[in-house]
Amino acid sequence: MDESVIEKYKAEMLGMYRSSKNSGEYPSYVSHDTAIAAVSQNTDTYTAPDSTGKLIVIVTTIRSLYPLENAEVSVFSGDYQNRQIIARDFTDQSGRTEPFILETPGKSLSLDSDNTKLPYAVYGIEIKAEGYVDMVFLNVPVFSGVTSLQKANMTLIETAGKDKGPIFIDSAQQYNLNGE
C-alpha cells in the first residue's frame, strides 16, 4: 500500500478530530450526567431506572468461531428444578439476544458500607439449540443500570461423548485467587 495514502488519511482524521474538539461539537470528555441526558433524548434507547439491569446472551459454537442463530434462550429465577421463566428470546444471526430487562436491587445498595445483601440480582439462563447440548448458567449476576453479557459456547451433540447434557455452569463458584 502506498505510504502517502496512509499519511493523507491520518492527516485527515487528525484534522477532523481537532476541528470537532475546537468547535465543541464532540467534546473529548463528557460528564456522566451529560451522557445520560443525551441518551435520554434518543427515543430508541431504553434508559433503565435504578432498579433494573439488562442482560444480553451471546451464543456461539466451535470454539466461539461461529454465532449460533435461533438458539432458544430462557431467563429464569429460582433454582433449576423449580425455575420460573421470566423471559424467552431466540438469538439472531449474530448469535445475540435482544436485551432482557431484569429487576435488580438499586445502585444505592452497593454504596452502603453496612449492607449485608447482594448489590445485584442473580438469574439463571437456559440455552437450547437443535443439534447441540443444552447449557444452563446459574447465579448470573445482573447489576442495576448495567448491561451484562453472558457468552455461551455450545457443544455439538455428536462430539459430546456420553454426557448429552445439560451442561451446568455456576457463576457463583468461588475461586481462590491467592493460590492458597
Cα-only R_g, the chain: 22
Residue 39 confidence (pLDDT): 38
Placement of cell 447441540 in the chain: 132
Placement of cell 445498595 in the chain: 109
Residue 13 confidence (pLDDT): 63
pTM for the model stands at 0.67
Residue 121 confidence (pLDDT): 92
- Calpha distance 117→133 (Å, rounded): 35
Domains of the chain: 3-41 (no CATH), 52-170 (2.60.40.1120)
Q: Which helix (H) or strand (E) holds 142?
A: strand 135-142
Q: How many CB atoms lie within 10 A of CB 156?
A: 12
- Calpha distance 153→51 (Å, rounded): 30
- Summarised one tens digit per residue, pLDDT across range 53-64 is 999 999 999 888
Pairing of the two strands 135-142 and 72-77: unpaired
